[in-house]
Chain A
Amino acid sequence: MKASTHTEVYRPFRGELTTRRMRFVPLLSSNLKTATKKRLPLVLLFAPLAIGTVIFSFTVYAGFAIQAGDPPSALGGGASIASIIGQALVSQRTQQLIQAREMIVNFHLATNMFSLLLMAWYGAGVLAEDRRLGAHLLYFARPLSRFDYLLAKFLVIATFGVLGAVVPGLVICTVATFASPEWSFLREEYDVIFSTIGFGLLWTVLVSSIVLCVSSLASRRSFALVGVFAVFMLTSATASIMAAMQRDSDFRALSPMLSAVRLATSIFELKARHASWNLTLAWSSVGAYILISWTLVWLRTRRMDVVQ
């Protein structure tokens, strides 16, 4: 039973093939493994988010600590001049941002470009490169449905979205929970945790859907990467210009990014400091972007599975 050219034999498979439902799981884990093999982009893309998380967490911690009359030792102990100045600065900052919910919204506003970059970097090639290399032939020659394939690809992007948009928010919430006197954050502001998860997921789904859509339309990863930023930048620029020219803030609904900011103020129940335009339009805009993205993805990938 030997192949004539070398020493190894062919061993028939004695096990059984399962018909499990979640076939997207191996594809997802394999894609994530492959994506994270290069360490440098990983470090560079996560660094701003990590730094932002540390800064905002420390500000929340410092705010609660000063409130409790126990200034952090990092600001200097005793009554030294440096300590007094430090406490004054933090107190001033704390007065502005003492509300953890506002801190988290500010964190999202400050870092949404970085989480977008993270998702775009790791998501731009998920469909474009498969198509260019013909790798989809390997996948679809197996009992893998198009739904499972797309779900795996979507979840690859969404994983990075969650790591960039949800996890940092939860870290800040955790710091707030432990820093607040007598668990006051958890008792009085617990809804912020749900809002953080809700908004982070909404942002992740929105961006992941658009990235997946652009990847399905592009012929290679670099084009898709440019395309993703073109979608977000051009729509934001157009929306802002139209809103300014027409003196109508509702035109901001043309931009998925501005719509997301509007939704953030609503989800976190903030007073309309960041935006005050029509909330329904913002929801409709985000919904429409997600719907259009998935429709295009579904149509484009039809040709990867079965070509009519």
Chain B
Amino acid sequence: MTDSVVSIRDLTKSYGKVRALDSISFELSPGPVGLLGPNGAGKTTLLKLLLGLLEPDSGAATIAGYDPRKRADRLTLRARIGYMPESDCLIPRTSAVELVGTLARLTGLSATDAMTRAHEVLDYVGLDESRYRDCDSYSTGMKQRLKLAQALVHDPPILLLDEPTNGLDPKGRRHMLDLVWDLGHVQGKSLLLCSHLLPDVERCCRDVIVLKKGRVVAQGSIEALTRTEARRVRVSIDGDADRFATELERLGIASERDANDWMLRLAGDDCDVVFDAALAAAVRIQRVEPVRSTLEDAFVKTLSAAEDERA
């Protein structure tokens, strides 16, 4: 087993003339990782390639040290991965306990273990008494939690979650994200969270990979990606705001004012110029804090940069 959980080299996959993945390469270390990208970016294709449900045109991928292209490896690694598909995919006229228990047995648990484990994971995801009901009658939120439960039933070290918050109301979404966060940060699972919803990834993951049109356009820790915009500072002052504005203008600092708060764009990392302006304007600085851009800012910027590069 290698240090990286997932290792991908020049992976390419096309559907007819459409290139879903275009020679992508990256390595993922253990922990929660977000796979971000707009619709059609190739996220689901990548997950299916990692599971061996699709065969690549070229390139190689290994997950937990196994090559999904080889049949023996494929069967072994599928016991170590929990996959939560995006589509409904639940079997009608089956209760949650039956479904999760059956899937547990298919993964290799004994009948007794499978039933015990099914109840444990259904408890964990919060499907209480409804676990005995046929899943046809479930709400979207319950179906999503059931899909998460089936992915967890064999306690895999790696989880591939495809759009787990799709179609959920705010409460259901918060619940799902809490579970994903718990799995990634407390239970120590390596998870690949595939989503086009930036706040979901920002909340649950440490690292992120941004895909666009089958290519990796950004990769790294969320902290590093959002730091690229760290030259902005938020300043609160006590004193003559107009004089402070004049001094800022004189020093060539772009500013936006919101009551007593100012959003300043600095040319360098040094904040001394802010204090110089305050001194000259005879105002008291109450607070200076760097403003980190949201992942959404970084995401939009990254995608725009990728567009420009292609053009």
Contacts and interface: CB of A to CB of B under 8 A. Distances in A.
Nearest to A30: B102
B126 interface: yes
Contact of B75 (A11, A12, A33, A143): A143
B54 A134 contact: no
B51 interface: yes
A308 B110 CA distance: 33
B126 A6 contact: yes
Contacts of B285: none
Interface stretch (A19-27, A56-64, A174-182): A19-27
A13 B154 contact: yes
Interface residues of B, number: 52
Interface in B110-137: 110-111, 113-114, 117, 120, 123-124, 126
Contacts of A144: 78, 106
Interface string A276-308: 000000000000000000000000000001111
Contacts, number: 130
Interface string A6-22: 10111111010111100
A225 B175 CA distance: 42
Given A30-B94, A133-B90, A138-B89, A1 B110 contact: no
A12 B98 CA distance: 20
Interface in B95-113: 98, 102-103, 105-111, 113
A88 interface: no
Contact of A306 (B54, B93, B103, B183): B54
Given A13-B154, A17-B107, A137 B53 contact: yes
A141 B179 contact: no
A143 B76 contact: yes
B27 interface: no
Contact of A143 (B55, B78, B102): B78
B79 interface: yes
A17 B79 CA distance: 8
B7 interface: no
B76 A13 contact: no
A6 B128 CA distance: 11
B78 A142 contact: yes
Interface in B1-59: 48, 51-55
Interface string A124-142: 0000011001110111111
B287 interface: no
Contacts of A1: 186-187
Contacts of A18: 108-110
B83 interface: yes
B112 to A, nearest CB: 9
B106 A26 contact: yes
Nearest to A306: B55
A192 B181 CA distance: 66
A305 B155 CA distance: 23
B81 A141 contact: yes
4 nearest interchain CB pairs? A13-B155, A17-B108, A26-B105, A134-B89
Interface of B: 48, 51-55, 74-76, 78-79, 81, 83, 85, 87-94, 98, 102-103, 105-111, 113-114, 117, 120, 123-124, 126, 150, 152, 154-155, 174-175, 178-179, 181-183, 186-187
Given A142-B103, A307-B54, 12 more contacts: A4-B181, A4-B182, A5-B178, A6-B175, A13-B113, A13-B117, A26-B105, A26-B106, A30-B94, A133-B90, A141-B51, A306-B53
